Structure 1
Amino acid sequence: MESAGLLLVLVLVLWNQTTGSGVQLIRDPDRNSSAVELDLSAVIHRVDRRFLSVTIDASLSSEEKFMSLLSSPKIRTLAKALSPCFLRFGGTRQDFMVFSPQRSHQNSGSSEDGSCDQMELPSWLEDKLKKDWTQQQLILIREDLQRKYRRVKFTEYTVDLLNSFSNCSGMDLIFGLNALLRTADNIWNSSNAASLLKYCESRGYRMSWELGNEPNSFQKKAGIRVDGYQLGQDFTCLREMMSRSRLYHDAGLFGPDVGQPRDHRADILEGFLQTGAQAVDACTWHHYYVNGRDTSLEDFLDPKVLDTLALKTKEVLKKVKLVSPDKPVWLGETSSAYGGGAVGLSDTFAAGFMWLDKLGLAARLGLDVVMRQVFIGSGSYHMVDENLDPLPDYWLSVLYKRLVGPEVLKVGFPGVAQRKRVRLYLHCANKKSYRGGAVTLISMNLGQKPASISVPAVVSSNTVEAFVLQSDQPGEEGLYSRLVKLNGDVLKMVDDKTLPDLKGTRLPPAEHLQLPAFSLNFFVFTDAAAAACM
């Protein structure tokens, strides 16, 4: 069989009682097998090279001193490993932020003068800020529960630090502007944004822009209702303002960052597309699976919950394509659970199933960028903890960046009951890590019993590299852990400026590979010679 044609992968579900602790070789597979079709001949979608992107929640600037955490050597080390990516600064509190420039400006972190290594946060100050941030989050949680948000003033300091952080980390900054500054006629008041753009242009800060966060909730959080038609006109106003700028006339503008379609949210998107589609470079929407306040571990592992993303995505894509067929569609903010995440779940190993499945499914359905809420900020869905140490979803994201390329390939799993617990996605491998023709099979086992994949030699050829992620603790209890193992070794930073080696395990060709219970896996077939990936 030619490698460019349809290939069969046998997926064998082994219903034994052991869970396994890593990659294992199975020489006598069970007869219970099912065929999976892989098409290596054609790319079905190509995502943006910054497909996996991250956000910094605007709550970090609720007191401007906390922005200094972005000068932490540890945070910058962790961020660099996620590039290339977009860095979105926004969220609920962006619509309560007002730029209030100080007359006497001091350089607070511009990287244009080569100060990436000079602006490091002293360790004593970092420790104090981390301690204070823990208390600040309690205030932010109370505001969210009461839906009473105070106006936050930010200065050049916030903008300088965001610019420095994004540049020194190799990220492309997207700054979210306040859409709730409005005139008596309920038209966006652009004067504050004009002041901010003028300052950023004077400093030569290259960035993209957004306007407003989840306009469907403006009424709930601020008592102001803005329909989609007016919102599109507001974006057109911003685009015209940008067009008059020497630096930002060709800069990116993204929106409307509406919540997933439901009731009037769909109306806002439709109205926006009528008047604002031509103003934006990509149409953005937000998605969360569940309510963080009443969800459970079962939800995080439920295939039916994971499949809801497909329904919502297809609905958004259909609406956008009707008005603007060539407009890219992004998940401008997304995570496991809304309301700040689910305590004890969204920052644990269990969250990885929702995150990896979202990356696989979003790419396959045709979304171009997925922005993870949140790299650092308030809530329980962050990628680094209160000590700025990486959580399981961070390590999963770094592996995805290194192993998965932008080219999406077709993988079929027809008529298999077991597919509910074994989920597969296929991409060309990242060409920065592997030579052309290599492919990466993304797989996850949502079940408490091992499953097995048998790959014929025509696709595995000579070498298969396995990257198996598991909790550091066995069984269901391990899903609540904040530590993760790669091929049996717990992942931790070597020091504040050094990540561990993230090496795969080389396996012989044509062997049956086990997916341990509750595992997230990448299998790279380095010599697949896939025509689509050459």
Structure 2
Amino acid sequence: MKSASTAVSTVVALVLFRALCAEVKIVISVEDVQSIRVDLDLSNVVRRVDERFLSVAIDASLIAEEKFMNLLNSPKLRTLAKALIPAFLRFGGTKQDFMKFNPRGRYFQARENSSSAVLGNVCKRLELPPLLENRLKQEWVLQSKTLLQEELEGKYKNTKFSEYAVDLLYAFANCSGLDLIFGLNALLRTSENTWDSANAELLLKYCESREYVMSWELGNEPNSYEKKAGIRVDGYQLGQDFVHLHQILQESALYSSTGLYGPDIGQPRDHRKNLLTGFLESGAEAITACTWHHYYVNGRDTSLEDFLDPHVLDTLATKINEVLETTESVSPGKKVWLGETSSAYGGGAIGLSDTFVAGFMWLDKLGLAAKLGLDVVIRQVLIGSGTYHLVDDNLDPLPDYWLSLLYKRLVGPEVLKAEVHTLNSGQKKPIRVYLHCTNRKSTLYREGAVTLFALNLNKNEATIGLPAHMANSTIEAFVLQSAEAGEQSLYSRSVKLNGQVLKMVDDRTLPPLEGRELPPGAHITLPGFSFAFYVLTDARAPVCK
């Protein structure tokens, strides 16, 4: 009996011990999991952005040697660009103010035509043969290093480009379905320091003869002209230069109603505020939208921690509000764009701007810019020098490309209100959320669906609680995580969607981007260091119908 009693006592003790361990585990897991509640307002559209809100740029450095413009005929690059429409394609950057149109009398033999059949033939005929593409890609790696050195030294060489480069650029935009914005050189000045339009008029005349439909910019970051070229242009004169260009465009049958965007000024700081004010006072009537540039950090001295710091991300809101206030005070109702933007200036941060961690800055910028009232955000760059591009040296998509593609497919232009409440008082808010109507062009979802997108800047998993009336909605989840595990995961140049690594099927085929349906009433769990899109398919938001 004694042995039986001892055995029973042992079993009871073991059960109690296991229960205690389980309880301890639960306590630890509760501390590790962040719990937040999100309030969603589906009754009111806070903002409505352009349907081309997420747009892309090609850096003008690509034209420094004209042969590299042939990369735009890559079938792979066209496939990737086409998947991002509708979007603007900005061709500009520092190099645009050091380039001159130099016609040589070379033309494509076949004129582009509005007929889709003819256009299709032209697009196919211009495709880059694989052997030539591989050679150009190898040479571009060396060219990129040369251009980066030029940027570091601040010594910019003048470049000439011909009709051939213009043809290649326009064919890429046209075959991909992107709306081209061409950046003109503003550093061509007269002895009176007014803009010399002669070269631009030559280019405009050529583009008009070819019936190339496009919009225009004049100059890139005029606040740095003195540093880069020893030329100082004040805001008033800059505005007058735009008025002059606007008058030239008005005289063109093709470009009289085209877009003109500027001044593409750096983010507000010191004299830049005065430059923007002076520009708007004299030139606001000439422009379709006011453009400015934003980068969070200096690519040469930033860190991984900066890319995940809520305080760094919040600096964008301050800058946006400053530009919006300045623009509204001088030119009420004028649309404002982020005309060039990425994570880090100076060509990006090596090992960060082209990796998974860059997605936190990019997705938060998209959410915040739309929420605060910017109409278009142009990502630097699709292809070009630097390390903040959307495709790598082999023209394969990087994590920010996949993030951009999902955004395009799932997020509509109508911005709704979402507010985060942290259940643990005093806790920092490493979870950031944004809410839009779901992209109505998607035929996969019912009318009234909404898309919630969220970022988890913390290593711990987060649980997101929805309002009671939404708790039983069917949710389709698209969770993006690094393709690698461990300490190096944030530096990965690959990304997983719901556990599957994303890569192209072949040069002309993207993989299916499939969501994972959560059971009605299930909690939304967002893994540590991840971001995700959640389509609430049964939301029935009246403003999204």
Report the TM range for the smaller structure's normalisation.
Answer: over 0.9
Q: Are 2:205 and 1:198 equivalent residues in the alignment? A: yes
- Residue equivalent to 1:426: 435
Give how far 1:103 is off. 2.2
**What is the 5 A alignment of 1:335-414?**
335-414=342-421
Deviation at 1:161, TM superposition (A): 1.1
Give per-residue Cα distances to partners, 1:260-302, cap 9 Å, x unaligned: 0001111110110000111000000000000000000000000
Residue 495 of structure 1, aligned match among 502, 506, 517:
506
8 Å Cα contact 2:215-2:258 kept in structure 1 = yes
**Distance (Å, rounded) in 2 between the aligned partners of 1:311 and 1:454:** 29
Residues 68 and 60 of structure 1, relative CA distance in 2, 3 Å threshold: same
Q: Which residue of structure 1 aligns with residue 267 of structure 2?
A: 260
**Partners of 1:16 and 1:301 in 2: CA distance:** 27
The verdict on how the C-alpha distance between 1:119 and 1:460 changes in structure 2, with shifts beyond 3 A counting, is: farther
Task: Look up the match of 1:5.
Answer: none
Which residue number corresponds to residue 169 of structure 1?
176
For the 8 Å contact 1:107–1:160, the answer to whether it is kept is no
Q: Residue 234 of structure 2 aligns with which residue?
A: 227
Aligned partner of residue 424 in structure 1, secondary structure: strand
Which range moved further: 428-437 or 514-523?
A: 428-437
2:443 is the alignment partner of 1:435 = no
**In structure 2, distance between residues paired with 1:31 and 1:384:** 34
Structure with bigger helix share is 2
Instruction: Report the 3-state secondary structure (helix = DSSP H, G, I; strand = E; otherwise coil) of the residue aligned with 2:68.
Output: helix
CA distance in 2, matches of 1:453, 1:53: 30
- Say how many residue pairs are matched: 512
Partner of 1:482: 493
SS at match of 2:246: helix
Name which of structure 1's ranges 343-352 and 474-483 shifts more when overlaid on structure 2.
Answer: 474-483
Alignment of 1:151-300 (within 5 A): 151-300=158-307
Q: Name which one, 1 or 2, has greater alpha-carbon Rg.
A: 2
Paired letter, 1:282? A
Determine helix, strand or coil for the equivalent of 2:255: coil
The change in CA–CA distance for 1:350 and 1:279 in structure 2 (over 3 A counts) is same
Q: Secondary structure at the match of 2:458?
A: coil
1:110 Cα deviation from its structure 2 partner: 4.4
User: What corresponds to 1:95 in structure 2?
Assistant: 97
1:74-112 CA distance string (max 9 Å, x none): 000000110000000000000001000112433489465
Question: Would the aligned equivalents of 1:29 and 1:512 in 2 still touch at CA under 8 Å?
Answer: no
Query: Are residue 504 (structure 1) and residue 511 (structure 2) matched?
Result: no
State the TM-score, normalized to the length of structure 2.
Answer: 0.91
Given that 1:464 and 1:523 are in contact with CA atoms closer than 8 Å, whether structure 2 keeps it comes out as yes
> Residues of 1 paired with 2:385 and 2:107: CA distance?
28
What secondary structure, in the 3-state scheme, does the structure 2 residue paired with 1:153 have?
A: strand
AA of the residue aligned to 1:439: V
What does residue 9 of structure 1 align with?
none
Q: State percent identity of aligned pairs.
A: 65
Q: How far apart are residue 120 of structure 1 and its match?
A: 0.6
* 1:533 maps to 2:544: yes
Assess, with a 3 A threshold, how the Cα gap between structure 1 residues 256 and 185 changes in structure 2: closer, same or farther. same
Cα RMSD (Å): 1.9
Among 442, 458, 475, which residue is 2:469 paired with?
A: 458
Structure 1 runs, 4 residues or longer, greater than 6 Å off: 14-18, 28-32
- Return the alpha-carbon distance in structure 2 between the equivalents of residues 370 and 97 of structure 1: 25
Say if 1:353 and 1:17 are closer, same or farther in 2 by CA, change over 3 A. farther
* Between 338-347 and 452-461, the greater mean CA deviation after superposition: 452-461
Q: CA deviation at 1:436?
A: 1.8
CA contact (8 A) 1:440 1:522 kept: yes
1:19-77 Cα deviation digits (max 9, x unpaired): xxxxxxxxx99997554321100000000000000000000000000000000000000
Assess if the C-alpha contact under 8 Å between 1:460 and 1:527 holds in 2. no
**Matching residue of 1:470:** 481
* Partner secondary structure for residue 123 of structure 2: coil
Deviates more, 1:316-325 or 1:410-419: 410-419
Paired position in structure 1 for 2:15:
none
Residue pair 2:39, 2:466 contacting (<8 A) in 1 also: no
Q: CA deviation at 1:370?
A: 0.2
Corresponding residue number in structure 1 for 2:9: none
Contact 1:111 1:164 in 2 (8 A): no
Instruction: Tell whether 2:136 aligns with 1:129.
Output: yes
- Tell me which amino acid in the other structure corresponds to 1:378: S
Q: Secondary structure at the match of 2:274?
A: helix
1:417 to partner: Cα distance? 4.6
The alpha-carbon deviation at position 418 of structure 1 amounts to 4.5
Q: Distance in 2 between matches of 1:311 and 1:15?
A: 41
Deviates more, 1:163-172 or 1:358-367: 163-172
**Corresponding residue of 1:329:** 336
Cα 1:220–1:180 change in 2 (3 A) is same
CA contact (8 A) 1:454 1:510 kept: no
Q: 1:516 to 1:231 in 2, by over 3 A?
A: same
- Tell me: CA distance 1:419–1:502, structure 2 relative to 1, closer, same or farther (3 Å): farther
Q: Closer, same or farther in 2 for the Cα pair 1:519/1:192, shift >3 Å? A: same
**2:529 matched to 1:518?**
yes
For 2:17, the equivalent position in structure 1 comes to none
1:499 shift after superposition: 0.2
Letter in 1 for 2:413: P
Give me the whole-angstrom Cα distance separating, in 1, the residues matched to 2:57 and 2:27: 41
Structure 1 window deviating more from structure 2 (355-364 vs 35-44): it is 35-44
Secondary structure of 2:524's match? strand
- After TM superposition, the structure 1 stretch with the greater mean CA deviation from structure 2, 315-324 or 459-468, is 459-468
Residue 14 of structure 2 corresponds to which residue in structure 1?
Answer: none
User: 1:399 corresponds to which letter in structure 2?
Assistant: L
Give runs of aligned pairs for residues 72-87 of structure 1, distance below 5 A. 72-87=74-89
Structure 1 stretch 395-404 or stretch 151-160: which is displaced more?
151-160
Distance 1:15 1:376, change over 3 A: farther
**Residue pair 2:108, 2:167 contacting (<8 A) in 1 also:** no
1:41 lines up with 2:43 in the alignment: yes
Higher relative contact order (CA 8 A, sep 6+): 1
| Bigger mean CA offset, 249-258 vs 148-157 | 148-157
Query: Counterpart in 1 of 2:55?
Result: 53
Partner of 2:16: none
Q: What amino acid is aligned across from residue 437 of structure 1 in structure 2?
A: G
8 Å contact kept, 1:451–1:514 = yes
- Secondary structure (helix, strand or coil) at the match of 2:261 reads strand
Q: How much does 1:146 deviate?
A: 1.2
Q: Which amino acid aligns with 2:64?
A: S
Q: 1:17 to 1:110 in 2, by over 3 A?
A: farther
